[in-house]
Structure 1
Amino acid sequence: MDNIQLPNRDSAFIEKLIPQRNPIIMVDAIYQHELNKVVGGLTIKTSSIFVNQDEMKEPGILEHMAQTVALYTGCHFYINKQEAPTGYIGSMKGIEIFRYPKVGENLKTEVEILHEIMGVSLVKIETKVDNEIIAKGEMKTVIAEG
């Protein structure tokens, strides 16, 4: 995995790793990538469609978490010189949001792959601002058949 320069905040590069496009892009950094784990980030901006009264609300947090999972998948496809696939959230389990992040704060989200088989992944996700956990849970994602 050493052909990905980390940390990386190059928006053009990150767009190659995820299927989403503006104004829905909810990851702007990749800090770590290894087998069964990725750490992605996002700086909360006023211009985000998910920000209301200077805070990112639930849909934005969940979308950021899901896109961090997509970042993991996209890295694997990138390394194999393939285009990032489209994926879907299959289910969410035990999602807890402890507080909304504020404009200017930096999210750092760690995704750990618990199980992966035939395009379906079960992952554990934890989102932090500095060292404070602001959201966590599990997600099942599915890669769309091409």
Structure 2
Amino acid sequence: MEPKTENLINIHNFLPHREPMLMTDYILELTEDKVITSFRITQDNIFVHNNEFVEAGLIENLAQTCSSILGQSFFENPDADTKVIGFITNIKKIEVFALPKVGDKIISKASLISQFENICHIFCETFNNDELLIRAEINLFIQEVKH
């Protein structure tokens, strides 16, 4: 999937994460119940070991991708100084099939299964081209931090 530059959504508008913990570059598609993100693996990434993006990095990438679905309601106004905190509350199922290498651009896709207030259950997968790297079901909790 190679979207046009004008269709890319800045992930900073939907996640509180910043370098070095930001594990997604762009939102390629975002609806109320689905998100697709892209991420280029760089040599200086904290989850790169022996030229591979390790399992913890893949899981963090999935979590950030998934949280974009729930987080979008907190970040509708990019000029607001909104602060949120989020947690993975449960990983119900997870399968790791392969690890991407430095220079690879991975695409993560997540679909909302269910949501109750600020808790959601999401199915997600990450691909390197057509190769499935990881598949999981994750529960997330996100809330706004009041000043």
Identity of aligned residues (%): 28
* Residue in structure 2 matched with residue 57 of structure 1 by the alignment: 54
Q: Partners of 1:67 and 1:18 in 2: how far apart? A: 7
* Residue in structure 1 matched with residue 3 of structure 2 by the alignment: none
Deviation at 1:75, TM superposition (A): 2.6
Q: Partners of 1:54 and 1:73 in 2: how far apart? A: 32
Name the structure where helix makes up a greater proportion of residues. 1
Q: Partners of 1:27 and 1:41 in 2: how far apart? A: 6
Q: Partners of 2:21 and 2:36 in 1: how far apart? A: 19
Is 1:44–1:105's contact at 8 Å kept on the other side of the alignment?
yes
Q: Partners of 1:112 and 1:134 in 2: how far apart? A: 17
Is 2:47–2:54's contact at 8 Å kept on the other side of the alignment?
yes
| 4+ residue runs over 6 A deviation | none
Q: Give the RMSD, CA atoms, in angstroms.
A: 1.7
1:141 aligns with 2:137: no
Unpaired segments ≥5 residues, structure 1? none
Deviation at 1:80, TM superposition (A): 5.7
SS of residue paired to 1:101: coil
Is 2:118–2:141's contact at 8 Å kept on the other side of the alignment?
yes
The alignment covers a number of residue pairs equal to 138
**CA offsets 1:73-110 (integer angstroms, 9 cap, x no match):** 33333336663622100010211110111111111111
Is 2:71–2:142's contact at 8 Å kept on the other side of the alignment?
no
Q: Which stretch shifts more, 14-23 or 128-137?
A: 14-23
Q: TM-score normalized by structure 2?
A: 0.86
